[in-house]
Chains A and B, each alone.
Chain A
Amino acid sequence: MTAIRVFVPRDAAAIACGADEVVASLTAAAKKHKASITIVRNGSRGMLWLEPLVEIEDANGARYGFGPAEPEDAEALVKALAGKTAPKDIKHGKAVGLVEEIPFFKKQTRLTFARCGITDPVSLADYKAHDGYKGLENAVKLKPIEIVDVVQKSGLRGRGGAGFPTGIKWRTVHDTPMGQQKYIVCNADEGDSGTFADRMIMEGDPFVLIEGMTIAGLAVGATKGYIYLRSEYPHAEIALNEAIAAAKAAGYLGANVAGSKRAFDLEVRMGAGAYVCGEETSLLESLEGKRGLVRAKPPLPAHKGLFDQPTIINNVLSLAAVPYILTEGSEAYANYGMGRSRGTMPIQLAGNLKHGGLFEVAFGITLGELVDAIGGGTLSGRPVKAVQVGGPLGAYFPRQLFDTPFDYEAFAARDGLIGHGGVVVFDETAEMGKMARFAFDFCAIESCGKCTPCRIGAVRGRETVDKILNGQNVEANIAIMEDLCNTMKFGSLCALGGFTPYPVMSALKHFPQDFGRPAKKFADAAE
């Protein structure tokens, strides 16, 4: 009799909620009941309110979920399996049925996250059995410029936040003279609060990132890639290194990539806790072993990047989208989305939310659908007050703007940004004056110090908010704060100083009562 496969994620969020303890209990119970089970440490399905989600596979490969599991649940589950009960017939308080039928999961369009939660993340055989490395096999047959064309036609834009067309970046590096050292750098410094998609894909399907970077290498003639990973993600580091070793051993990395006679190698490098190193030029400085000071542009990294060599620097999600595009074609990807935002976005629903998690969907879904229908409203049960979209540098949106569609331009039109796709929900207990103060405070803590508007503006901003919240010359100090934001927005070298005004000004605009001003009328909020 073949062993029954039981899946328990190795995802950091699952581990933080007790996945390792659940595995220990399952193992002990299996020994006790002489049950023949194999535990697979998969990635997370992204339904994080159910983590740790234990999945039991039946004879037909259908997977039934039980979550959020606790160690004491193991006994009953294993006993049922030992007694030959089919997974679907196991009666248990934590049973959630067929995992793929859960509405949160079923409503998604999983292109980048197609395998995440399904496969063993570090099994190359599993990856290949689920369409892995097909994109690379296609890329090997193409000329470098043809690979660039496919990516450009897909409409893929940088998923790190700026939304710059990925294909144009690649073309610029492709067009620099061949024969010199070029680099592919993956920005895995996912520092934004409310975001965890990079982490999840690196822990749950690291090969897709490795494949995407390898394709990028072939496209522009780069032979070396670096993944700059934040040190807060030790589990991702382990998964990436295991997967890189497996890819090397199988000839998917090294001197002769997939029989192409072209070389590409990959290394993981750890950041050291500096938020600003998520800014691409600061990241390059850090990789070179320097202080993470932001560089003035030009020159662009595409011309003078890592060690002054032509460099593609892309976010994890941008690179992880590439294998699908090379496998299914640019049109298949571009058919999803709205306006100039093509394809899908792995959106991260977080904070005070009943159903938080990773929701990959075509661009165009509204903020309200995400928060109310998909996320199920607040966990606390109190009304939603504000939603911060796009990380610490993103704007706060009130319920009156819930009709905003998830699209780069639509958010920009409402003085916001989608950033890296993080959505953090706050209930009515949030004090928006304090959140504005925090935005300045965070900027002051994390500023690299190179440009004055950010270095000094953040500190002055924090002081000014304190005065406002203390009721000191409120109107005069609000005028100073607005002026300061204007200077930071237009005078800062990078997005840290340049975007800190988004949370501050949106908090002031939509929640004036939290700054000692009269509350805003409902009607003008909707504009």
Chain B
Amino acid sequence: MSLAESRFEPWSAERTRAIVAEHQSLEGPLMPILHAVNHAFGHVPEAAVPVIAHALNLSRAEVHGVVTFYHDFRRQVPGKHVLKLCRAEACQSMGCESLVKHAEDRLGVECGNTSADGRVTLEPIYCLGLCATAPSAMLDGKLVGRLTQKKLDALLKEAGA
């Protein structure tokens, strides 16, 4: 399996320590640190946990507990593109489930997984707050409202799937 080229920095303990130092003076610095680490490396690597824990005088278990509680903090690098489809009630009322099915069929994976070629990670999201222009999607941070199968196909094409 050849994975698509990563857009994230390679893991580095030094870079992690720099991120921690940048946020350490904040009250309650752990969430901003985890966001920054997740952003830099595309995920929160297992190896980052002891580095962060040591710097903040927390146990590894405490940091691990926080990382695993929140949906945003990834344990693995995602695919080259991340396509999120909203599956909450307002989008359901406008037929999002058939779009999810369509995307799953196109990518050959169930929602929540990455296509075999590593190009697209398909994820559910519970509400983008675009509930009057449903159904909604987000491709790598770009929002799309009034999603149709045609628009979805265009997004998948943009993502190279």
Contacts and interface: CB of A to CB of B under 8 A. Distances in A.
Interface stretch (A87-95, A108-116, A204-212, A418-426): A418-426
B127 interface: yes
Given A16-B130, A270-B31, 6 more contacts: A193-B88, A194-B131, A269-B32, A290-B30, A290-B62, A430-B92
Given A16-B145, A289-B66, A388-B89, A353 B129 contact: no
A392 B129 CA distance: 13
B133 interface: yes
B131 A196 contact: yes
Contact of A350 (B32, B72, B131): B131
B28 interface: yes
13 contacts: A16-B133, A17-B146, A48-B133, A192-B127, A193-B126, A196-B132, A232-B127, A233-B129, A287-B31, A351-B90, A356-B131, A424-B90, A446-B126
Interface residues of B, number: 39
Residue in A272, A353, A445 whose Cβ sees the most chain B Cβ within 10 Å: A272
Interface stretch (B4-12, B100-108, B136-144, B153-161): B136-144
Contacts of A438: 89, 92
Contacts of A498: none
Interface of B: 27-32, 34-35, 62, 65-66, 69-73, 88-94, 125-134, 136, 141, 143-146
B132 A191 contact: no
Nearest to A357: B132
Q: Determine chain A's interface SS by DSSP, over half rule.
A: mixed
B126 A275 contact: yes
* Closest 3 pairs between A and B when the two form their complex, measured CB to CB: A356-B132, A289-B30, A193-B88
B129 A195 contact: yes
Interface residues of A, number: 59
Contact of A349 (B128, B132, B145): B132
A191 B126 contact: yes
Given A196-B131, A348-B132, A350-B131, A231 B90 contact: no
A291 B30 CA distance: 10
Interface string A29-62: 0000000000000000000110100000000000
B141 A234 contact: yes
A239 to B, nearest CB: 13
A474 interface: no
Nearest to B30: A289
A173 interface: no
A13 B89 contact: no
B71 A272 contact: yes
A190 B27 contact: no
A391 B49 CA distance: 35
Contact of B89 (A17, A48, A193, A287): A193
A274 B94 contact: no
B119 to A, nearest CB: 23
Contacts of B31: 269-270, 272, 286-287, 289
A12 B127 contact: no
Contact of A290 (B66, B73, B141, B143): B66
A427 B93 contact: yes
Nearest to A391: B89
Contact of A291 (B35, B69, B128): B69
Residue in B27, B70, B129, B146 whose Cβ sees the most chain A Cβ within 10 Å: B129
Given A12-B129, A49-B132, A193-B127, A352 B66 contact: no
Residue in B94, B131, B143 whose Cβ sees the most chain A Cβ within 10 Å: B131
Nearest to B87: A438
A274 B69 contact: yes
Contact of B132 (A48, A234, A270, A445): A48
A435 interface: yes
Contacts of B144: 16
Interface string A327-352: 00000000000000000000011111
A314 B91 CA distance: 28
A272 B70 contact: yes
Residue in A12, A13, A48 whose Cβ sees the most chain B Cβ within 10 Å: A13
Interface string A262-279: 000000011111110000
A346 to B, nearest CB: 13
A273 B71 contact: yes
A49 B65 CA distance: 42
A199 interface: yes
Contacts of B66: 289-291
Contact of A196 (B27, B30, B73, B129): B129
Nearest to A388: B89
A116 to B, nearest CB: 15
A17 B69 contact: no
B92 to A, nearest CB: 7
A356 B129 CA distance: 13
Contact of B94 (A270, A275, A352, A446): A352
A351 B130 CA distance: 10
Contact of B129 (A51, A190, A288, A435): A190
A448 B66 CA distance: 12
A283 to B, nearest CB: 11
A193 B136 contact: no
